[in-house]
Amino acid sequence: MVSSLYGVDQEQKEIWVFLEQEKGNLESVSLELLTKGREMADQIGWGLSGFILGEDLESLAHQAFNYGADQIYLASHPLLNTFTIETYSHVVFEAVMEARPSVFLYGATPNGRDLAARLAVRFRTGLNADCTDLRLDTQGDLLVSEVSGFGGGVLALIEMRHHRPQMATVRPGVFSSSPTTPRKKTEIITIPVSLTEDMIQTRILERVVGEVVDLSSAPVLIAGGRGSDNAFQMLQELADLMEGEVGGTRPLVDEGYIPRERQIGQTGVVCSPKLSLCCGISGAFHFIVGIDKANTVISINSDPDAPIFEFSDYCVVADVHQVLPALIKVLRSMQEVSNA
Ligand SMILES: Cc1cc2nc3c(=O)[nH]c(=O)nc-3n(C[C@H](O)[C@H](O)[C@H](O)COP(=O)(O)OP(=O)(O)OC[C@H]3O[C@@H](n4cnc5c(N)ncnc54)[C@H](O)[C@@H]3O)c2cc1C
């Protein structure tokens, strides 16, 4: 077995969180991981640290203190303003080798995944990707990562007994974030950074921002599946009437009906709406993961035995092409009455 660069006997009993920022704003998943990290750290009496890279980002450190961090490592340099794997992995690698935390968590964003994977190879440690839950085994000081496998049929609990740091990625929306009273003692630790342009192998020529949609925080979700093909206009109309967002299952993304950022589920977005209306969706595990946290689920499916009904609060056995126009008609007339 290949050993990691540092082992259990050299670790510091700390949880670290990669605090990803975009133009001076922390990603929501970073705050979610701080909240979860605080909960775990309190159970075992460990410290919780965040790691921020960028330039002049002290205000973000104070924001992180409001989510439970004890310490913030701040790496400030103009070449860290934009994520590049060479600079970020270089700086984080050096800092981790110095401080040797036991646990290091990352958001499963494109940058978080990129960084975690690169560092896992450099530390020669493991990486549990897309965890659906995390806990600390207080007996053995081990991170227990819940990961779904075999097409969702199995939930595996993975422990890293010998390799450090114990690393995991978690997708946005899996945990919730909640501000807390800052710790009595907080500290900002400034990391010395020496970077040069020639370390960066990639050049950003142009930045194209696609449609920005945050399904994870939409209060109302109108979700379409294969059974709602040809009904997208109605799904959008419903979403407009109910001040919600349209999302869908993976087949709809694969077939090009909806953009990837609107895919709900295990390999899409995990949502926690107040209301989710599922139209023509069978209810595969991979999809259900994405709406599991909805307060209320209403499903319309023509098959009375569709698995989605097991996860629904209200079940409508019907053709979506008949139900949706009727629903839109009612909502429109309600809107007209309230506008009158
Ligand atoms: C590793 C992996 C990851 C995956 N990740 C995801 C993911 O993140 N998100 C995701 O969604 N899927 C994911 N999938 C795919 C997933 O397993 C299912 O195949 C998918 O969710 C099914 O989509 P669906 O419900 O739209 O289609 P189907 O399973 O084909 O279901 C269509 C449903 O529509 C109903 N229907 C048909 N016509 C009508 C009608 N006129 N009116 C009412 N109901 C009707 C049918 O009864 C049926 O229940 C993943 C698969 C794998 C292997």
Q: What is the mean pLDDT of each run of 10 residues along the chain (340 residues)?
A: 93 97 94 98 96 96 98 97 95 98 96 98 96 90 88 83 96 91 96 94 83 85 92 93 95 89 89 95 93 95 97 97 96 88
282 Cα nearest atom in ligand 1:
49
281 Cα nearest atom in ligand 1:
25
Alpha carbons 276 and 308: distance in angstroms, whole number: 12
- What pLDDT shows up at residue 21? 96
Beta strands 142-149 and 71-76, pairing class: unpaired
In contact, 277 and 300? CB cutoff 8 Å: yes
Amino acid present at 69: A
C-alpha closest to that of 268 among 250, 245, 244:
250
Q: Tell me whether domains 6-199 and 215-339 share a fold.
A: yes
Judged by DSSP in three states, 35 sits in: helix
- What pLDDT shows up at residue 149? 73
Tell the CATH superfamily of the 6-199 domain.
Answer: HUPs (3.40.50.620)
Cα(281) to centroid(ligand 1), Å: 5
Cα(226) to centroid(ligand 1), Å: 6
Cα(252) to centroid(ligand 1), Å: 9
- What pLDDT shows up at residue 173? 83
- What pLDDT shows up at residue 207? 81
**Is 282 close to ligand 1, i.e. is its CB under 6 Å away?**
yes
- What pLDDT shows up at residue 260? 87
Tokens for 221, please give them.
Answer: 């979700």
- What pLDDT shows up at residue 151? 60
Residue owning the nearest CA to atom 47 of ligand 1: 303
Q: How many helices (H) and strands (E) does the chain have?
A: 8, 17
**Is 321 close to ligand 1, i.e. is its CB under 6 Å away?**
yes
- What pLDDT shows up at residue 213? 84
In contact, 173 and 292? CB cutoff 8 Å: no
Domain positions in the chain are 6-199, 215-339
Tell which one of 267, 285, 298, 321 to mutate to probe ligand 1, the residue whose CB is within 8 A of the most ligand atoms.
267
In contact, 17 and 105? CB cutoff 8 Å: yes
**Is 286 close to ligand 1, i.e. is its CB under 6 Å away?**
yes
Whole-model pTM over 0.85: no
Architecture of domain 215-339: 3-Layer(aba) Sandwich (3.40)
